Amino acid sequence: MIIENDGVDASRSPAFLSRMLQFGDSMFPIGAFAFSSGLESAIQEGVVTDAATLRAFARTALEQAARGDCIALIAGHRAATAGDVDTLVRIDTRVYARKLSDEARTMSVRMGKKFTEMGVEVVGAPLLHAWRECIETSITPGCYPIALAINFAVQDLPASQAFVVHQYGVATTILGAALRLMKVSHIETQKILYELTGQTDGMYATAAAARLSDMAGFAPLTEILAAIHTRAHVRLFMN
Amino acid sequence: MIPAAFPPWARAETLGASMPEFASFQDEPPQMSSGTVGKTGFLHLGFEHRSGKTILASLERRVPYMVQRALHCDEQMPGLAYVFLITTTGCLLQGDRLALDITLHPRAQAHLTSQSATKIHAMDANYAAQSQTIVLADDAYLEFLPEPVIPHRHSRFISDTQISVAPSATLLLSEIIQPGRKHHHPDECFGATVLSVSTAAARPDGRSLFAEKLVIEPRRYVMRQTGVMDCFDVFANVILCAPKDKADRIHERAGADINLADGVAFGACRLPNDAGLIFKVLGRETAQVKAKVREFWSVVREEVIGTALPPPYLWR
């Protein structure tokens, strides 16, 4: 297992940082703006009503991602660094098998496929080509955390930065949707984001120490919100 | 029973040793240690379809697990084998290891339930573990609907269920988890130390269908948080493995809603790989949650078997 580039290397050149920003940008065209991660239903059902409940809802999403997808993200980064496609397929299949709602699966495989395709076009490493081939031939579902892990590994960007980008994406998807769905100001959403990203270190340490079989979670109301969203008549977002 | 090199309950004994959430609870109880007679229960139930009805064709047991006989008491499904799981100790204590092994042969139909709620007592050493394997052959039908689990303050419980289900078979598996004895003491509401509930299903050829691992650690993760338990107390997790056409019809009828005033929330999602559905219920009180699970169960019966449920027993 190669873990040398798991952590943050302080001597990284500014170019690496700008690449991380590019692929971690919420405007990166993988369609994240089309999803609300259950927030749309949460607002319609009165579960999220103000900045405080929005903060708690986003925090739940971050905790669930750190306990689940991010363990696979870090394991995927190690496998991608070793160029081990079979292990990547195995990890990806396990991530998919743990997405128990249609909309969570749709979001993950749609963003995963787009992220891989963008990587092929922009970065163009052989592993990215191989992974796109695996997705197109249905050898693997192509979930987002694995696509992100492979992209960062082939660019020599560390797993910790892939983790940061993943979690930043989880938070900004919800907070971006909140601006369009509820009465909340840009100042409030930025304050929430600032506060939530402050917990990244602890979450990364836990996820990096976990095994793939440790992927777990517990957020039943979020799952019920997903069930409600698939049935909603009026929908602005895809989940 | 003569203990083999690897007794069938070996899995229950090793389950908690490698789980990180149980790493700090490996000490042995000062009372009877884990794995001793009376602490490690085993139950194997094999159901077979013979001349129009399902019989309990094989039964192995080791205390505290016990089963007496299969009843054919469901007037709507006279061929259905109805079995009560009995634990003679009546509750789960630290160091307990339970292994349950259920096999339904082709076309067998069974209903499994427990006699009463399963209390998981407070613990100051070790943990309680439960390992379940459920194997459903072609056209088998199993309803496994035990009474709720009540985790007491400081309890530690690990459960792992491995399912093998044929594409034509149906499994309805429900688990209702109470927050604890919340009317007894305020600390009893979400007072458990750790509850870890894993479920994984595969086809008989080994193809993986889905996996879920719920880890409830109220001291690490806030239970009342928005999106987690919010204002609700009781949680039900209901897994339905069924052929796609039937699962789709059940999904259509299952509904989904959150009613904060009444304190009930429920909804069904389609499992990956066309495995079936997962139906989750949250409620303020157990009765509300049980009623919703029963509603879902009745839809499953109607769509899969074509019969109605018997009226509920007054005392259950």
Interchain pair A47, B272: CB under 8 A? no
- The answer to whether A224 contacts chain B (CB < 8 Å) is yes
Distance from CA of A18 to the nearest CA of B (A): 34
ipTM surpasses 0.90: yes
**Residue A59 near residue B225, CB atoms below 8 Å:** yes
Domain extent listing, chain A: 34-231
> A interface mutation test: which of B269, B282, B293 has the most A CBs within 10 A?
B269
Instruction: Please give the residue of chain A at the shortest CA–CA distance from B196.
Output: A216
* Chain B residues near residue A105 by CB distance under 8 angstroms: 272
Whether B248 shows a pLDDT value over 60: the answer reads yes
Residue contact A61–B280, C-beta within 8 A: no
Q: Where are the domains of chain B?
A: 33-231
Confidence of residue B266 (pLDDT cuts 50, 70, 90): very high
Residues of B in contact with A223 (CB under 8 A): 267, 269, 278, 280
> Mind listing the pLDDT tens digit for each residue in B217-227?
999 999 999 99
Please tell me the predicted confidence (pLDDT) of residue A4.
47
Q: Which pLDDT score, from 0 to 100, does residue A3 have? A: 45
Query: Residue B238: pLDDT above 80?
Result: yes
Asked if B231 reaches chain A (Cβ–Cβ under 8 Å), the answer is no
The rounded distance, in Å, linking the Cα atoms of B165 and B187 is 40
Phi, psi values for residue B302, rounded to 5°: -65, -45
Neighbours of A220 (CB within 10 A): 25
**d(Cα B173, Cα B161) in Å, to the nearest integer?**
10
CATH topology of domain A34-231: Urease accessory protein UreF (1.10.4190)
According to the model, what pLDDT value does residue B2 have? Answer: 54
Contact B272 A216 (CB under 8 A): no
Calculate mean pLDDT across residues B132-139.
98
Comparing alpha-carbon positions, the chain A residue that sits nearest to B202 is: A97
Q: Is the pLDDT of residue A1 over 60?
A: no
Between B122 and B88, where is the model more confident? Answer: B122
Beta bridge partner(s), residue B210: B201
Please tell me which residue, B32 or A39, carries the higher pLDDT value.
Answer: A39
Q: What is the pLDDT of residue A9?
A: 56
Residues 76-95 of A with CB under 8 A from B: 93-94
Residues B171-182: tens digit of each pLDDT: 999 999 999 999
Which pLDDT score, from 0 to 100, does residue B89 have? 84
DSSP symbols for B202-264: E-TT--EEEEEEEEE-TTTS-TTSTTTTTT--EEEEEEEE--HHHHHHHHHHH--EEETTTTE
For residue A126, give the nearest of A85, A163, A162 by alpha carbon: A85
Residue A10 token pair:
């302080």
Between chain A and chain B, the number of residue pairs with CB atoms below 8 A apart is 121
B231 phi-psi bin (left φ>0, alpha ψ -120 to 50, beta other): alpha
Mean pLDDT of chain A: 92
Distance (Å, whole) CA B33 – CA A114: 54
DSSP state of A212: G
